[in-house]
Amino acid sequence: MAPVVTMRQLLEAGVHFGHQTRRWDPRMRRFIYGERNGIYIIDLQQTLQRIETAYSFVRDLVADGGDILFIGTKKQAQDPVAEAAAGCGMPYINERWLGGMLTNFTTMSGRVKKMTEYQRMRAVGDFDVMPKKEALMKSRELEKLERNLGGIRDMAKLPEAVFIIDTKKEHIGVTEANKLKIPIVAVVDTNCNPDIIDYVIPGNDDAIRSGTLMCRIISDAVKEGRYIAERRGTAKPRSQAPTPEQEADRARQQAEARNEAARQAAERDARLAAGATTPAADDEVDAEVPAQSSPAAGQERGGVPTPAVEAPPSDVVEATPGSIPAGDDEADVSARFPQTQPGSAETSPVGSHGGGASPAAEAGAVVREPEQSEPEATPDVANVDGAFAAEVDPAAGAAPAPGKTDTTD
């Protein structure tokens, strides 16, 4: 069986270089080969053995359905960790370790769900229809969430193991993993404590090439373990990269969402513009209403001619006894207050002057009659039952019409 890595590859990557002799942890003494120019040299024979052990552990773990979390937040390890984890489909953290990522995983899962919801809103164009300030705040929050939690978006549960580069910098993650009894596979330099690590890989954790090599080794172990699981038929479904058709469909949906958002924004602007011009139009309508509300004489309203209504002149005399001016003669009084004798027919105001105008009318005064209530309607005798109609004398003629006075003697 071919070795996982060769001695030459380790030497070319600079895995054997440790820290300065004044910066070391005495507990790493057993992994140090010697000292050269004030720098400790790591024993690569032990490194090869430890790599084989860690490789077997990770392979078997993944073959049994486990996951491993890649951790490396220092600048030299960010890109190698992200590339290796993405290549084998495992979660990773390469920006910042937030306290409680393992021990408070429930809260972190809620933050991941919030990030996923914001990503969905951005994809369908919801940010485009929001107020600018709100959309900007949500965009900034989404960028921060993606930067810190983007690597664990698909991690639905705690990992079965963690792989760490530079345990001294990631001491919080090491502490949380130890509390939860999660196995730790780590690259340990001469300034770190190997006693708190389950699977120690002695090596340089500061060089980019060394970190890249170690990440590739663990990634290969994950791929081999997944292959074994597939052969057994126990492999877990892994999320695959979207196909070109899926990417095109997603781009089409995003374009439609943006167009719909632009249309809604245009309609909203149009409504706001119409609302700004409405008060002026209302003033014009109010100015036209008085002219239309007082139609001229003879103007038809609803098809019926409307008579002109004139204000009464100032010399109108109310036809009441108390309003008779002193000194009027009897003719004027009789003209102003026509009286009807009992049993006689109704007399019009101008009847006493032979149909002509009264003196008060000639003088320009307008005489008003006292209002008379209409007589109550009497039932028609002809429509009564036959028994009552038979009692009426046919020779006497028909009964007088309702409301009329019999003037015959």
The span from the CA of 128 to the CA of 257, in Å, is 9
List, for the chain, all residue ranges whose pLDDT scores fall below the cut of 50.
239-240, 285, 287, 289-304, 314, 316-317, 319, 321-324, 326-328, 333, 340-356, 359-363, 365-367, 381-390, 392, 394-409
E strand or H helix at 71, and its extent? strand 68-71
pLDDT score for 126 = 84
The span from the CA of 189 to the CA of 200, in Å, is 10
pLDDT score for 295 = 46
The span from the CA of 256 to the CA of 270, in Å, is 21
Beta-strand relationship, 32-36 and 39-42: antiparallel
State the CATH class of domain 7-94+158-233: alpha beta
| Two tokens, residue 85 | 């984890």
pLDDT score for 208 = 93
Residues 6+ apart with CB under 8 A from 68: 58, 61, 62, 90, 159, 160, 161, 162, 163, 185, 218, 222
Residue 375's CB is within 10 A of a number of other CB atoms, namely 10
Classified as helix, coil or strand, 337 is coil
pLDDT digits (tens, 9 = 90+) for 181-195: 999 999 999 999 999
The span from the CA of 35 to the CA of 33, in Å, is 7
Beta-strand relationship, 161-165 and 304-305: unpaired
Q: pTM of the predicted model, to two decimals?
A: 0.58
Place of tokens 């979207």: 242
pLDDT score for 273 = 85
Cβ contact 193:171 at 8 Å: no
Place of tokens 């028909």: 398
| Two tokens, residue 64 | 């049994």
Sign of the torsion formed by the C-alpha atoms of 352, 353, 359 and 364: positive
Q: Where in the chain are all domains bearing CATH 3.40.50.10490?
A: 7-94+158-233
| Two tokens, residue 52 | 């084989």
